[in-house]
Amino acid sequence: MPFAKNFMWGGATAANQYEGGYLEGGRGLSTMDCRLPGNRHEYRKVSFTRPDGSVGYASRYEAVGEGARGTILEDRYYPSHNAVDFYHHWKEDIALFAEMGFRCFRMSVSWTRLYPSGTEETPNPEGVAFYRDVFSELQKNGIEPLVTLNHFDLPLYLADEIDGWCDRRTIGYFSRFARTCFEEFRDLVHYWITFNEINTIRDWTKLGNKDMSDQTVYQAMHHMFLGSAHAVIIGHEVNPGNMIGMMCAYGSMYPYDCAPDNYMNNIVSLHKIQFFCDVQCRGYYPEYKLKEFERSHVVIRKEETDDAVLKQGTVDFIAFSYYFSNVTRADANVEMTGDQSHAVENPYLKKTDWGWSLDPVGIRVACNELYDRYQKPLWIVENGLGAEDVFEDGTVHDAYRIDYLREHIRELKKAVETDGVNVLGYTPWGCIDLISAGTGEMSKRYGFIYVDLDDEGKGTFRRFRKDSFYWYQKVIESNGEEL
């Protein structure tokens, strides 16, 4: 059998796209609560107020500017506020996951549900109780939670008052939050991820940065690396049995052709992802990045103990998302942003309706590249097809989704069986329909379970099993043999 007996089949979600209940249970506002919806042609924007009182909007590529404060406009719809309302549907959802046979479930803890402003001395008891209930229910159903400490969210107070991760104090606030999670859920959670897709975190919602300069972004990133390392150290201290991973968006990269310049350029492009894995797996900054900093005059301000903390706080496994592959070319700049709108076309691949290339082999490439370089166990914590579903007679006939997943699992199997890569688990993204991170839409659906909600936030939130629900149930039951 290629997949181990205890291979972690399951599904993945994130609080800002799934949980909702944004003003309930004492929760504080997060930067993600200021994020408006977009669509497949238009980037999502955050709304903010400038010091002169005027309202501004910024996409992930735009700076909000000095003195900006995140703002929620009364007449607009913000998808994270209710999301798909896990907050009130958790029992029902977990029952459905159990029915599919999930062995694990990936979710994130909303930072501001535990620490409403980020700065409190003690956690919000209602928040702790909510997650304890959820984790207990999962365990009762034989499902191991895989918990992401930070999935794109940042307390709005920290962003407004101290520019979030740009300020060293955020490391301390985050460490306190992480300690709370490790201690409060010690008996219920054994698998953790520090930051989701750390290589795509450049914008205000995630870093709290008011400008987009490399100096600002890399300094904030340095603090985030320290936050992650501290979390790993604390997590191991609280429970030596904890497995704590890093997480990156891994889009495999192919050189455009065999021109030596394009091949060399592909190596340099891969460094854009590897940098994050190098620091978190090896515990120090790689040479190529230090040289880049020298050339671009980026100076990272460090304290004396930083290097030792990074070294001590290396991760136990590498989690990654894989959706598509990229093509690199010496004369084109590839940004690893989860957005393929400016990508170099691959003539061998078809694309989804949202323009993402379809490349199952790329998942095997990713497994090999990561395992060869770090020899740490891998966990595919996101993969899937975002597609428009037709809901009729209480279900969705989503053969296209089944095809996508089947092909990817086949390649994953080769990575395990033929290449000997150590893969701990597979948790496809949005196992239940949820808000798209990139576009804020509901119509970009990934789930095995359909949720009745539209792009304006209207619907009953009722859940329905799709065809893929029964297909995935068989996949898990047969441990990946019946595809």
**Which residues contact ligand BGP (rule: CB under 6 A)?**
14, 17, 196-197, 249, 321, 338, 382, 386, 429, 436-439, 444
Closest CB to ligand BGP among residues 68, 366 = 366
Side chain identity at residue 166, one-letter code: C
CB of 290 to ligand BGP, least distance (A): 28
3-state secondary structure 56-68: EEECCCCCCCCCC
CB of 434 to ligand BGP, least distance (A): 8
Q: Please give the Cα distance from 231 to 314 (Å, whole number).
A: 10
Closest CB to ligand BGP among residues 144, 197 = 197
Side chain identity at residue 273, one-letter code: I
Side chain identity at residue 223, one-letter code: H
Q: How far is CA 260 from CA 27, 255, 327, 333, 366, in A?
A: 54, 9, 15, 17, 22
CA atoms within 13 A on the CB side of 402: 16
Q: Please give the Cα distance from 248 to 135 (Å, whole number).
A: 24
Q: Any idea which residues carry the catalytic annotation? A: 197, 382
Closest CB to ligand BGP among residues 137, 382 = 382
CB of 429 to ligand BGP, least distance (A): 5
CB of 313 to ligand BGP, least distance (A): 22
Q: Please give the Cα distance from 170 to 468 (Å, whole number).
A: 42
Closest CB to ligand BGP among residues 26, 338 = 338
User: Are 154 and 164 within 8 A, CB to CB?
Assistant: yes
CB of 296 to ligand BGP, least distance (A): 26
Q: How far is CA 69 from CA 103, 210, 214, 424, in A?
A: 42, 10, 22, 41
- What residue number has its CB nearest to ligand BGP? 438
Q: Please give the Cα distance from 408 to 356 (Å, whole number).
A: 15
- Token pair of 212, please? 């987009």
Nearest one of 227, 235, 140, 137 to 184, comparing CA atoms: 235
Closest CB to ligand BGP among residues 85, 197 = 197
User: Are 50 and 58 within 8 A, CB to CB?
Assistant: no
Give the H/E segment covering residue 328: strand 326-328
Closest CB to ligand BGP among residues 209, 439 = 439
CB of 440 to ligand BGP, least distance (A): 9
Q: Please give the Cα distance from 238 to 234 (Å, whole number).
A: 6
